[in-house]
Structure formats: structure tokens, C-alpha cells
């Protein structure tokens, strides 16, 4: 971990203030992430949560949510997923983009679960990331939502928003995960992902963040820099 991620009192305070404030925002309270929707609709099914995460890579949550009800019967278990013919799976996933790669990953992950984990999704980070195709973000999401393990899952939204605000100062999502876990009080870990992801999808957009609408203005490094040095 770089020195810039060393957690100071100030940074700890900032992180906890930001997460607390985000939690209180109406749009955050009224919105669901893709995985929260999956849990609400299908229960805490570790395999469905895992597949939803795999499908959401480089796709919008809304796209995955749209096709998910139509594919559940084909991917409800690892056995069903590998029994579904490749072409059929690719057709089902076509609208997501990268459908060939996603179909391949769903099948290979299912195969590993059958061969090495008795067809069950494992419940440790080490085991999850040992499976080809499962990264730390997906593993942390599965741990949190399927098994209730306190973790901080970091995707591109959480990485961008937390760096813009100044909660962390990191160049990779892995560094951001470590930094957030060391700065944010453990009692908030279960909401860090949802708060930062939803804020990143709705307000702190990648190209043109809606700073004028943002409740975090007074805390945000990016905003104070832009204010001081506006584009001419
Ligand atoms: S003030 Fe702007 S840059 Fe900062 S968190 Fe809000 S939207 Fe993002």
C-alpha cells in the first residue's frame, strides 16, 4: 500500500462522514444495486449472486436486470449452467455485450465449482479468487451479500468516487479496497459499496459529474479544485 493511503485521523473522519451522509440521501435510500435487486427477487442464493456479478462486468446494471429473469432457469445451478448449450447461453447473453466471453466464464466457473467445490459457492475470499474468472470485487460482493461477511467491494464507480472526494488516494481498485477498509469504520462496511456505486451511477458520473446537485461538495477535493481552477 502506498504512503498516500495511510489512514490518518482526518481521512478516517472524512470517510465516515461521507458514508454517513450518503446513507441519508433519499436517492440512495430509494435505489437498489443490481445485487440488492437479485437478493430481493431470488433470495440470498450464492450462485445467482455470483452469476449476476459476472454478467455485470462491463455492462450496465439495468441491462443485466432486464435479461436476468429470462436466464434464471438456465443458470440456477452450476449443473444447469453447463448443461445449457453454448450457443443458447450466448444468445441469452447477447444484449450484454462480451456475450461470448461471459458465456465462457459462467460455464468455466460452474465447471470449477462442480469439480472442486462440490457444486457449492465457497465462502472465503481465498477460495473464491482461486477460481479463474472471479476477481476480488466479485468475491467481496458474494461474501457480503450471500454469506454476510463484512467486506468492502470496490468497482470502477467506488474507485472513482472515493478518489475524487479524497477518501483515498490510489491508482488501482485493489489499493482503494485496502484503503477504504482501513479508514471506514467496520460498522459501515456493508453499505460502502452500495453508497459509492449508486452515487457514481447517479451523481458522480465518470465524465461530467453533477457537482451542483451533490451533497458532498463541501468535502470533495475534486470539487474544490475545479472551483479554484475553473475551465475557461
Ligand atoms: S462534488 Fe462532484 S466530483 Fe465531488 S463527489 Fe460530488 S459529484 Fe463527485
For a mutational test of ligand 1's pocket, the pick from 166, 205, 209, 229, i.e. the residue with the most ligand atoms closer than 8 A to its C-beta, is 209
Per-residue pLDDT of the chain (232 residues; tens, 9 = 90+): 444 456 788 989 999 999 999 999 999 999 999 999 999 999 999 999 999 999 999 999 999 999 999 999 999 999 999 999 999 999 999 999 999 999 999 999 999 999 999 999 999 999 999 999 999 999 999 999 999 999 999 999 999 999 999 999 999 999 999 999 999 999 999 999 999 999 999 999 999 999 999 999 999 999 999 866 666 5
What phi, psi does 85 have (nearest 5°)? Answer: -55, 145
Kindly list the protein residues whose Cβ atom lies closer than 6 A to any atom of ligand 1.
161, 164-165, 203-204, 209-211, 214, 216-217, 220, 222-223
Helices (H), the chain: 9-24, 26-29, 34-42, 46-56, 61-75, 78-83, 86-93, 99-116, 125-129, 136-147, 156-165, 173-183, 189-202, 221-228
Q: How many CB atoms lie within 10 A of CB 67?
A: 16
What pTM does this model have?
Answer: 0.92
Cell reading at 135: 476477481
Please, what's the b/e burial string for 153-180 (b: 16 or more CB within 10 A of its CB; e: otherwise)? Answer: bbbebbbbbbbbbbbbbbeebebbbbbb
What cell was used for 177? Answer: 479496497
Domains, the chain? 3-31+151-227 (1.10.1670.10), 34-147 (1.10.340.30)
Amino acid at each position: 500500500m502506498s504512503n498516500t493511503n495511510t489512514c490518518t485521523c482526518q481521512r478516517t473522519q472524512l470517510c465516515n462522514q461521507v458514508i454517513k451522509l450518503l446513507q441519508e440521501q433519499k436517492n440512495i435510500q430509494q435505489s437498489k444495486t443490481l445485487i440488492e435487486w437479485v437478493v430481493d427477487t431470488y433470495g440470498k442464493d450464492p450462485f445467482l449472486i455470483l452469476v449476476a456479478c459476472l454478467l455485470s462486468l462491463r455492462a450496465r446494471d439495468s441491462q443485466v436486470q432486464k435479461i436476468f429473469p429470462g436466464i434464471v432457469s438456465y443458470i440456477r445451478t452450476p449443473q444447469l449452467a453447463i448443461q445449457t448449450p453454448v450457443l443458447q447461453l450466448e444468445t441469452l447473453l447477447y444484449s450484454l455485450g462480451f456475450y461470448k466471453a461471459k458465456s465462457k466464464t459462467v460455464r468455466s466457473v460452474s465447471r470449477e465449482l462442480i469439480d472442486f467445490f462440490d457444486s457449492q459457492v465457497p465462502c472465503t475470499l481465498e477460495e473464491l479468487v482461486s477460481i479463474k474468472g472471479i476477481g476480488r470485487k466479485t468475491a467481496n460482493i458474494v461474501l457480503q451479500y450471500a454469506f454476510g461477511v463484512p467486506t468492502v467491494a470496490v468497482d470502477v464507480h467506488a474507485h472513482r468516487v472515493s478518489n475524487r472526494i479524497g477518501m483515498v488516494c490510489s491508482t488501482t481498485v485493489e489499493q482503494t479496497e485496502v484503503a477504504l477498509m482501513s479508514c471506514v469504520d467496520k460498522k459501515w462496511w456493508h453499505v460502502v459499496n452500495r453508497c459509492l456505486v449508486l452515487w457514481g451511477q447517479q451523481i458522480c458520473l465518470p465524465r461530467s459529474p453533477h457537482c451542483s446537485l451533490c451533497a458532498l461538495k463541501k468535502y470533495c477535493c475534486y470539487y474544490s479544485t475545479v472551483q479554484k481552477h475553473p475551465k475557461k
